[in-house]
Amino acid sequence: MVTIQEALRIIQDQKISLKSELKPLEEALGFALETETIAPFDVPEFDNSAMDGYALCGLFQEYQLVGEVAAGDSKEIELKDGEAVRIFTGAKVPEKATAVMMQEKTSVKESTLYLDEMPRVGQNIRKKGGQLTEGQTVFEKGHLLNPPSLSLMGSLGLEALEVISKPKINIITTGNELVKPGQPKTVGQIYESNSFAISGALQQFGFQYHQKTQIKDDFDATKVGIKRALESCDVLIISGGISVGDYDFVKQSLEENGVNELFYKVFQKPGKPLYFGRKENQFVFALPGNPASSLTCFYVYVLPLLHRLSGYEKNGLTTYQFPIKHPFKNTFGRPSFLKAAVIDGNVEILDGQGSSMIRSMAKGNALAFVDDGETLNDGDMVRCKLIS
Amino acid sequence: MVTIQEALRIIQDQKISLKSELKPLEEALGFALETETIAPFDVPEFDNSAMDGYALCGLFQEYQLVGEVAAGDSKEIELKDGEAVRIFTGAKVPEKATAVMMQEKTSVKESTLYLDEMPRVGQNIRKKGGQLTEGQTVFEKGHLLNPPSLSLMGSLGLEALEVISKPKINIITTGNELVKPGQPKTVGQIYESNSFAISGALQQFGFQYHQKTQIKDDFDATKVGIKRALESCDVLIISGGISVGDYDFVKQSLEENGVNELFYKVFQKPGKPLYFGRKENQFVFALPGNPASSLTCFYVYVLPLLHRLSGYEKNGLTTYQFPIKHPFKNTFGRPSFLKAAVIDGNVEILDGQGSSMIRSMAKGNALAFVDDGETLNDGDMVRCKLIS
């Protein structure tokens, strides 16, 4: 048995080797950059207008209008003192322009431009290199590509990016009692549901599984099932069969498949019988069979590993602190990840904390961490991971 | 010009008609339920064991072992006082069992079971209907299907769910100066990048676009481009061309295509020239062309509409409050959505707040709202939307 901190440390300390691939910009969301990105040119690449208005040469209140520059125009207009050109947002500002005046503060009579106020040097001109200069680091290696990053990469003209590949994931569910939803079942059987939570949680965080297999509680079937699954994945997630019962064959089957245990059992509630192992560059999580335990272990332990294998700088869900709404004491005898709802900035610990209770988790949006024996009074801060 | 509150209210007040479809459970993440779900049977459906151990009849410290029940077994064992059966997690508890003792607290000699401690009535038995009873409401109409919801729906045997369809979205980018990333460009031109931010943000929140078109700053092209896009979407997102310049043809083209303006211009920074309109059941957002303005308007205004059209109970990103790290005064002259980073629970307002500055947004993870003229001192709470 290890503590939560020890388990997380073991995951964090695994030496891993990353793979990379070239992704079209449009498909690169949620991937981490394989290399530092260097600006290939200044951004903006030329002085340009921040407004629709007039580019002015010298500081006056009247100008002679001598032309127009639209966005995308490549022509260069030679301005002289007292001359102005019509200009539009994003258009290249003529070399000798002193400022741009927004059109709402101007009037034009014949070819003379009158300003409502005196212009200031550099006003409404976005300077060449104002955001990035050629050769500057845009993003460090490992930067996670979010929507604004895609925009910036696009503006650098990059149509594809070298990113860290995401891990290939297989899922195995175990249990003789399990029947697929939609199929007939007999007394004593239940519908298999954990794999839907796991595949949903993978999708929620931008991952997908490669194969999903259901195996019976039988030593040979378990051993063969694990062998097959390990043939085509970087991470194997097994649900159930990892407890101490006579029908729990997962642990022994993993050993016989050459998987080395890194930890087994974590001092926590829910999710005590959690297993983590490794075979060369492949990782195996065996999650407890109870629905809430299984999903909690996914958010707390599996996700940080998937993030590491994807080259992320920050791994796992961020922990935020919010005040608790009602007093709470953790009398479960173990440090606990509790189903919770953060509503209007306050944390409510929900009813239905049992390991098999999944409805409370579905209705909440957070996992609240409360230490063994910890008492929280009204307004005390609770550590929370936001899960939906 | 409307205020932020007025703009959000107009979006919120739109009468909308929702469509529904049947989704396989595996593909239902992020969809809202079209109807209330009623439990078709009790969950659990039968009393079952929470542990690997022994099901006991009566309260003693010694029992005669008379059999075994594994998970999935449908056989019924008639227990008499003083008798016990081996039982496993999730297995059906025999009808007359009083309690289950976990195996770690037992020893067996021949066919006699000895307990280390006295059992308690009901111990380690998960009661039939403990989570849900037949006929009970599982989830209300509009419930958003998160991973634990998929698990619960699976356990009810539901292989497919009737959900609200998501809107069909088209994207138009405008601007003569725009060139696709990867293509050659001339002086005065820039790479088109907004559409990558928008499609990325759609993907981030479980949406996708149907068509993406680039049109020139030309009245006829704009009018025809908008007409074509409106032939195949519920929501049209246009980037650029909505300002006051002579080359901004979007507004007039929308009018000529029968789109009615619901608001134009919002008193905010960035994103002042934001347009929202409607034609029967179709909605149009024209976003400002500046990258940061465009994406900010997406998060603040487009997303709530997409959520509404997807039947969500809660629309848009949740606003959380965190203490500010350094004092800040909003001197921009308008209420502002600021690029910010929430780090270790504190908000940092980032450098690079210009509308064209997207790198600061890429490096941050939040939009902080600070009202016009508002002064925030060390530790004052800031309203934030978490965007990555």
Query: What per-residue confidence (pLDDT) applies to B244?
Result: 72
Backbone φ and ψ of A221, nearest 5°: -60, -40
Question: In whole angstroms, what is the distance from residue A365 CA to residue A341 CA?
Answer: 5
A46 to B187: CB separation less than 8 angstroms, yes or no: yes
Asked if residue A314 belongs to a domain, the reply is no
Q: Count CB-CB contacts under 10 A for residue B1.
A: 12
Chain A residue numbers with beta carbons less than 8 Å from the beta carbon of B176 are: 70-72
Q: Check whether residue B26 and residue B83 sit in a common domain.
A: no
Q: Check whether residue B234 and residue B369 sit in a common domain.
A: no
Question: In whole angstroms, what is the distance from residue A6 CA to residue B366 CA?
Answer: 31
Contacts (Cβ under 8 Å, ≥6 apart) of A184:
none
A193 to B46: CB separation less than 8 angstroms, yes or no: no
Query: What per-residue confidence (pLDDT) applies to A243?
Result: 79
- Domain range holding A136? 20-42+130-164
How far apart are the CA of A52 and the nearest CA of chain B, in angstroms?
5
B293 close contact with A: CB closer than 8 A: no
Tokens of B173: 């980018």
B114 close contact with A: CB closer than 8 A: no
- The partner residues of B235 in beta bridges, in order of sequence, read B169, B283
Q: Of A335, A366, A362, A204, which Cα lies nearest the Cα of A271? A: A335
Query: What per-residue confidence (pLDDT) applies to B243?
Result: 79
Query: What per-residue confidence (pLDDT) applies to A322?
Result: 96
A148 to B292: CB separation less than 8 angstroms, yes or no: yes
Mutate to test the interface with A, among B45, B353, B358, B360 (most CBs of A within 10 A): B358
Chain B residue numbers with beta carbons less than 8 Å from the beta carbon of A201 are: 147
Q: Check whether residue A170 and residue A287 sit in a common domain.
A: yes
Q: Check whether residue B8 and residue B25 sit in a common domain.
A: no
Q: What is the mean predicted confidence (pLDDT) over B95-107?
A: 96
A358 to B187: CB separation less than 8 angstroms, yes or no: no
Q: Residue B225 belongs to a domain with what CATH number?
A: 3.40.980.10
Q: How many CB pairs under 8 A join A and B?
A: 306
Q: Which of A309, A340, A360 is the last residue of a domain?
A: A309
A147 to B86: CB separation less than 8 angstroms, yes or no: no
Q: Which among A71, A159, A292 has the least Cβ separation from residue B181?
A: A159
Query: What per-residue confidence (pLDDT) applies to A16?
Result: 96
Q: What is the mean predicted confidence (pLDDT) over B140-163?
A: 97
Query: What per-residue confidence (pLDDT) applies to A341?
Result: 97
Q: Check whether residue A197 and residue A221 sit in a common domain.
A: yes
B187 to A74: CB separation less than 8 angstroms, yes or no: yes
Q: Which among A104, A131, A217 has the least Cβ separation from residue B359?
A: A131
Query: What per-residue confidence (pLDDT) applies to A298?
Result: 98
Query: What per-residue confidence (pLDDT) applies to B319?
Result: 96
Q: Residue B36 belongs to a domain with what CATH number?
A: 3.90.105.10
How far apart are the CA of A256 and the nearest CA of chain B, in angstroms?
23
Q: Check whether residue B356 and residue B255 sit in a common domain.
A: no
Q: Check whether residue A134 and residue A101 sit in a common domain.
A: no
Asked if residue B314 belongs to a domain, the reply is no
Q: Which among A71, A75, A342 has the least Cβ separation from residue B175?
A: A71
Tokens of B276: 């929202």
Q: Check whether residue A143 and residue A171 sit in a common domain.
A: no
Under the banding of pLDDT at 50, 70 and 90, the label for residue B75 is confident
- The partner residues of A367 in beta bridges, in order of sequence, read A339, A385
Q: Check whether residue A31 and residue A55 sit in a common domain.
A: no
List pLDDT tens digits, range B289-333. 999 999 999 999 999 999 999 999 999 999 999 999 999 999 999
Asked if residue A298 belongs to a domain, the reply is yes
Which pLDDT tens digits describe chain A residue by residue (388 residues)?
A: 999 999 999 999 999 999 999 999 999 999 999 999 999 999 999 999 998 999 999 999 999 999 999 888 888 899 999 999 999 988 999 999 999 999 999 999 999 999 999 999 999 999 999 999 999 999 999 999 999 999 999 999 999 999 999 999 999 999 889 999 999 999 889 999 999 999 999 999 999 999 999 999 899 999 999 999 999 999 999 998 887 777 789 999 999 999 999 999 999 999 999 999 999 999 999 999 999 999 999 999 999 999 999 999 999 999 999 999 999 999 999 999 999 999 999 999 999 999 889 999 999 999 999 999 999 999 899 999 999 9
Tokens of B56: 């006991």
Tokens 């976005």 identify what position?
A126
B125 close contact with A: CB closer than 8 A: no
Q: Which among A138, A151, A321 has the least Cβ separation from residue B194?
A: A151
Question: In whole angstroms, what is the distance from residue A221 CA to residue B350 CA?
Answer: 56
How far apart are the CA of A309 and the nearest CA of chain B, in angstroms?
19
Asked if residue A11 belongs to a domain, the reply is yes
- The partner residues of A256 in beta bridges, in order of sequence, read none
Question: In whole angstroms, what is the distance from residue B385 CA to residue B299 CA?
Answer: 9
Tokens 């729990």 identify what position?
A248
A89 to B243: CB separation less than 8 angstroms, yes or no: yes
Q: Check whether residue B277 and residue B351 sit in a common domain.
A: no
Question: In whole angstroms, what is the distance from residue A173 CA to residue A289 CA?
Answer: 9
Whether B71 contacts B88, CB under 8 Å:
yes
ipTM: 0.95
Whether B161 contacts B139, CB under 8 Å:
no
Chain A, 180-219: which have a CB under 8 Å from a chain B CB? 180-183, 185-201, 203-204, 217
List pLDDT tens digits, range B331-364. 999 999 999 999 999 999 999 998 889 999 999 9
Query: What per-residue confidence (pLDDT) applies to A75?
Result: 84
A52 to B189: CB separation less than 8 angstroms, yes or no: no
Q: How many domains does chain A have?
A: 4
Tokens 């000699």 identify what position?
B109
Query: What per-residue confidence (pLDDT) applies to A248?
Result: 82
Tokens of A309: 């294998």
CA A276 to chain centre: 23
Q: Check whether residue A35 and residue A75 sit in a common domain.
A: no
B72 to A243: CB separation less than 8 angstroms, yes or no: no
Q: Residue B94 belongs to a domain with what CATH number?
A: 2.170.190.11
The mean predicted confidence, pLDDT, of chain B is 95
Q: Residue B365 belongs to a domain with what CATH number?
A: 2.40.340.10
Q: Please state, for a pLDDT cut of 90, what percent of chain B lies above it.
A: 92
CA-based Rg of chain B, rounded to a whole angstrom? 30
List pLDDT tens digits, range B13-52. 999 999 999 999 999 999 999 999 999 999 999 999 998 9
Question: In whole angstroms, what is the distance from residue B2 CA to residue B84 CA?
Answer: 74
Query: What per-residue confidence (pLDDT) applies to B76?
Result: 87
Asked if residue B217 belongs to a domain, the reply is yes
A85 close contact with B: CB closer than 8 A: no
Q: Check whether residue A241 and residue A292 sit in a common domain.
A: yes
Query: What per-residue confidence (pLDDT) applies to B66?
Result: 96
- The partner residues of B99 in beta bridges, in order of sequence, read B56
Q: Which of B309, B336, B370 is the last residue of a domain?
A: B309
Q: Which among A181, A185, A359 has the least Cβ separation from residue B159?
A: A181
Contacts (Cβ under 8 Å, ≥6 apart) of A310:
A31, A32, A164, A165, A166, A167
Asked if residue B106 belongs to a domain, the reply is yes
Q: Which of A126, A147, A180 is the last residue of a domain?
A: A126
Tokens of A13: 């300390």
User: Beta strands A328-329 and B260-264: pairing type?
Assistant: unpaired
